Amino acid sequence: MFRQLIDELRDRGPLSRASSDIGTLLGQNARQWPGRETLLSRPGDYTRTRVYRDANFELLLLNWSAGATSAIHDHGGQHCWMLVLDGALVVDDYVRLDGGEVSGVAEVESRETRTLGPGAMDLRSGPFDLHRVGATPQSQAVSLHLYARPLQEFLVYDPPARRCDRAYSVYDAIVLDDRVVVRA
């Protein structure tokens, strides 16, 4: 699954490429996705399947149930490219207004909302570059995520409470030998 994409990124990592190059690379390799039926699903939520991980990058497939939404989050200082493979995802952009000097305290503000269809890409690149992602209430969606270095920890935000909390990446499944294996 995504063998050609993984090989190309192993030869030349995401941080040594222009974002437009990454977009082209992801788009060209999107056809290697074998389909939603290969992914774990969870009603009312989304699942995270790790396709590949090494020290330089991580590749995930997220399977979104209709209406499922992530928390408002950053990407732990990592660059993240998200390509919509199927369905539509609503992306709510936020910006962090404070300087992050006080642990657990954050002031964030909503900026814009966009709906991304198949083939559309979103890029996150800074420590204060935040968003919330969710499937539309009418349909499921699948997205491919490329992180420059594995995403191990990040912050989730609660704007009304002016709080942020540390969160850790977990996988619902991993790909081994081109088969999706559910983690126990």
The whole-number average pLDDT for the span 64-77 is 95
Between residues 113 and 125, the one the model is more confident about: 113
Q: Which of 75, 76, 77, 57 is nearest to 2 (CA)?
A: 57
Q: Does residue 184 have a pLDDT over 70?
A: no
Residue 32: per-residue pLDDT: 82
Alpha-carbon torsion, ordered 143, 148, 150, 151, to 10 deg? -70
pTM over 0.85: yes
Q: Does residue 90 have a pLDDT over 80?
A: yes
Are the beta carbons of 60 and 119 closer than 8 angstroms? no
Alpha-carbon gap, residue 87 to 75, rounded angstroms:
23
The whole-number average pLDDT for the span 144-149 is 94
Q: What is the CATH class of 3-168?
A: mainly beta
